[in-house]
Amino acid sequence: MLSVNCVSKSYDKVLAVDNLSFSVKPGDIFGLLGLNGAGKTTTFRMILGLIEPDSGSITLNGEKIDYSVTNKIGFLTEERSLLVKMTVLEQCLFYGTLKGMSRDSIITKLDILLERFGISDYKNRKIKELSKGNQQKVQFITAIINDPVLLILDEPFSGLDPVNVELFKSVIVELSKKGSMIIFSSHRMEHVELFCQKILILVKGRTVLSGDLNKIKKNYERMNIFIKGDIDIDKLSKIDGVLGISHNNDEYVVNIKNDSIINSVFKAISKCNVTKFVVNEASLNEIFLASVGEAYEG
């Protein structure tokens, strides 16, 4: 289990991470969310042992993270981390060897992964000759080639088309099922929402929301009602508890305070010609925006 306990880090007078605590169990996919500059990269760097926290501790399976355990960690950086003058094979041999793998095991694993990602033909091509999407695939392969116990993914879907996003997701879920702990960071909430069981939202280094994603959604009372038809917008907006109405394509999205408002809305449109009335929980994106917004206002 990865345990981050009351960790703080500041650069000069700027507090980058403030008393951060969370844990990731084997098989968990943990979403670490936040705006740019929220402290995500600093947190990743502290987990990897690249920088020391000012206070608090970080352990992996009870041990302090040092060079004796980093072989078991995989890291996909948000920005390019490939040495573009190398070939795909050379790059994977380089990072794989640094993770303590033997040449033979790297090549065996690499062949399987290249096949899986559909880039076997590029094995001996220089990285600079590959497209951005294929470079991202190679970067991802270098992060998982050692079957990491802990995998840190910082914006893994950057530069990928929807087909490859699905491919990446399936591999991530597979690793999770095999027992890897996965920390996932993305600005795309729909991606986080799809497979993160737990999330933590950081604002200026402080935790503003954390816990089980389903529970967070459940506890977040606001809901959306999707209505298609000829309805009286003025009448709906006057209902106590209706926070806002927006028009999206050919349907209306009514944002309500909590589920007790659903009946009032339903009654108000019951005599109208309505073809769709669907009640949904708030999306993670809304929760994120609300949390970040509140934190900034606070």
Selected binder of another protein within 142, 185, 186, 210 (CB under 8 A): 142
Phi, psi of 159 (to 5 degrees): 80, 10
Selected binder of another protein within 50, 112, 272, 289 (CB under 8 A): 50
- For 183, the 3-state DSSP assignment is strand
Residue 83 is a binding residue for another protein (CB under 8 A): yes
| 8 Å CB contact between 283 and 193 | yes
| Token reading at 25 | 């169990």
Residue 137 is a binding residue for another protein (CB under 8 A): no
Selected binder of another protein within 36, 62, 79, 230 (CB under 8 A): 79
> CB under 8 Å to 261, separation ≥6 — which residues?
239, 240, 241, 242
| Token reading at 207 | 């935790």
Give me the 57-76 binding string for another protein, x by CB under 8 A, dash otherwise: ----------x--xx-x-x-
Q: Of 97-105, 112-120, 192-200, 257-265, which part binds another protein (CB under 8 A)?
A: 97-105
Q: From the CB of 114, what's the least distance to another protein, in Å?
A: 19
Q: Of 94-102, 107-115, 165-173, 218-226, which part binds another protein (CB under 8 A)?
A: 94-102
Site residues for another protein, 30-49, by CB under 8 A, read: 45, 48-49
CA distance 226 to 274: 11
Q: 96 vs 205, which CB is nearer to another protein?
A: 96
Give me the 162-201 binding string for another protein, x by CB under 8 A, dash otherwise: ----------------------------------------
Nearest to 200 by CA among 27, 26, 44, 11: 44
Beta strands 55-60; 2-11: pairing state:
antiparallel
Q: 23 vs 81, which CB is nearer to another protein?
A: 81
Beta strands 73-76; 150-154: pairing state:
parallel
Residue 280 is a binding residue for another protein (CB under 8 A): no
| 8 Å CB contact between 127 and 100 | no
Q: From the CB of 219, what's the least distance to another protein, in Å?
A: 36
CA distance 281 to 215: 11
| 8 Å CB contact between 82 and 103 | no
Q: From the CB of 9, what's the least distance to another protein, in Å?
A: 13
What residue ranges bind another protein (CB under 8 A)? 45, 48-51, 67, 70-71, 73, 75, 77-85, 94-95, 97-100, 142
